[in-house]
Amino acid sequence: MKKIPKYKFYFVVFDFLIIALSFQTTALFVWKTNNLSFEYFFKPFFDIFFLYLIVSTIFAFVFQYNGLYKINVILNKASHLTSVIKSLFFGILTVIVLSFIFKYFEVLYSRLTLFTFSIIYLAYLFLIRVEILRNVFLRLRNKQFKRNFIIIGAGKSGKLLATKIIIEDSMGINIIGFIDDNKNIGEDIVAGKKVLGTINQIQYIIKEKKVDEILVVMDNVSYDRLLEVIDICKELEVNVRLTSELFDIVTKKVSTEKYADFPVVDVSSRINRRFNLVFKRAFDILSSIIGLILLSPIFLSIAILVKLSSPGPIFFYQERIGREGRAFKFYKFRSMFVNNGEDEERRNKMLDFIKDDSGNGEKVIDEARVTKIGKVIRKTSLDELPQLFNVIKGDMSLVGPRPCLPYEFENYVSWQKRRVNVLPGCTGVWQVTGRSSVSFKDSIVLDLYYINNMSPWLDLQILLKTIPVMLFARGGK
């Protein structure tokens, strides 16, 4: 909780109050225009209150998804209003769909009520959120909402970011100083901001200077060293963000916050790790069992088509590497003609793909071996459905890095092996943002982004994004 900026709490609280105010105003409007008794409209008090809680929660998630708690969106009136309108549309649509599915909230069947609520809610959001709260933040940014920052890295990038933040002075960021192993302590870097110490001294500096957030902006650094520094920072009770060309793929594929037009990647753990793992496991088991039941007709149809399309078994079994480097049996629907023995050519091409440092490589697929039905189920990722059994067994999770082959793991360099620190997943960040078009190095970086930000909310986002990727067969091979 300490890691979340104070202004975000204020915006969340006011978002719930704005919905309550919109409910109240809508009720009064409908009551007046339809000459209804006040008792008639508010008779189902429990239903109305429950509806308010459901709608408020839905909009909180939609607002988060559309970046309405990001400082660069809050401060830019045009972006703020655009995101509000977009969130209102998707939020109302979600509420309508859920109400029809569960057939519970009778009040939502009135078009007048929905239309009135939408107009009133938009008006209140614009007046209170976009105009009043934004201006309150700007007035209090250097008082109530002031945040103390230190920057790790006093090189060219660190200087440039600090200079832009200081000049713009619109985000309530107070840069206390820099941390750099290659500079002298006390050395002036920019605008009187000095080097406070080395990374080994960071814990002492954080406490002494009452730091709220760390910005990692290191030039000419290796993946190993950058990830080591992130690990050190994550042990501290402060927010940790990163801007680095090594993580450029994250800012290109994932919507991130911006400080003075610099995209910053959040690498802070938001919730207790043990709670997250327990919740994630329970969700995996329950969702997989429900999925197997609901998808059983699709399973049966694919099994028949696979069997009829070519000689061989229905399922494809393969050894993959799971959490902490442990091997397990990986399940898929067979999508290729049976090939006895190791495909040495593909193995060599895959190793070249892994070792490609240009970042331009693409995943190797021997398309000549893919069956007709295989092309369809691979494109839509339906061949991956049997992995729900892997999830129930505990070998995999619904969301996580993709499990690799043993010979691939043996050829990983040290920083790349971090992707096996968690259970592998059926889907993940790079699958919903690029799939086969993402280079190997970029896929690892996206997996590391997921590992650093793992949470139930991120898992839900990835699962929801996986559905259209499968339906529209985006990027699969």
CB 253 within 8 A of CB 429: yes
Cα separation of 449 and 434, whole Å?
15
Residue 189 Cα distances to 3, 173, 183, angstroms: 27, 17, 9
CB 214 within 8 A of CB 147: no
For 200, the 3-state DSSP assignment is: helix
Q: Which of 213, 173, 212, 178 is nearest to 196 (CA)?
A: 178
Q: Is pLDDT above 60 for 214? A: yes
Q: Which of 50, 32, 40, 44 is nearest to 116 (CA)?
A: 32
In the chain, CATH 3.40.50.720 sits at 147-266
**pLDDT tens string 90-103:** 988 887 777 776 66
Backbone phi and psi for residue 106, each to the nearest 5 degrees, phi listed first: -65, -30
Strands 188-190 and 213-216, bridge-based pairing: unpaired
Higher-confidence residue: 370 or 271? 370
Quickly state the pLDDT bin for 436 (edges 50, 70, 90): low
Higher-confidence residue: 231 or 53? 231
**pLDDT tens string 373-388:** 988 888 888 999 999 9
Q: Is pLDDT above 70 for 205? A: yes
Quickly state the pLDDT bin for 110 (edges 50, 70, 90): low
Q: Is pLDDT above 50 for 1? A: no
Higher-confidence residue: 102 or 42? 102
Query: What pLDDT does 47 receive?
Result: 61
User: 233-242, 289-298, 367-376, 414-423: lowest mean pLDDT where?
Assistant: 367-376
- Two tokens, residue 350: 């895959």
Q: Is pLDDT above 90 for 50? A: no
Cα separation of 175 and 169, whole Å?
11
Query: What pLDDT does 346 receive?
Result: 72
Query: What is the assigned CATH class of domain 147-266?
Result: alpha beta
Q: Is pLDDT above 90 for 169? A: no
Q: Give this prediction's pTM.
A: 0.85
**pLDDT tens string 273-323:** 888 899 999 999 999 999 999 999 999 999 999 998 888 899 999 999 999
Cα separation of 334 and 313, whole Å?
7
CB 428 within 8 A of CB 401: yes
Q: Is pLDDT above 90 for 115? A: no
Higher-confidence residue: 40 or 338? 338
Residue 122 Cα distances to 33, 83, 180, 211, angstroms: 20, 11, 47, 37
Query: What pLDDT does 111 receive?
Result: 72
Q: Which of 441, 448, 442 is nearest to 421 (CA)?
A: 448
Q: Which residue type, as a one-letter code, is found at position 288? A: S
- Token look-up 């902006």 returns 217
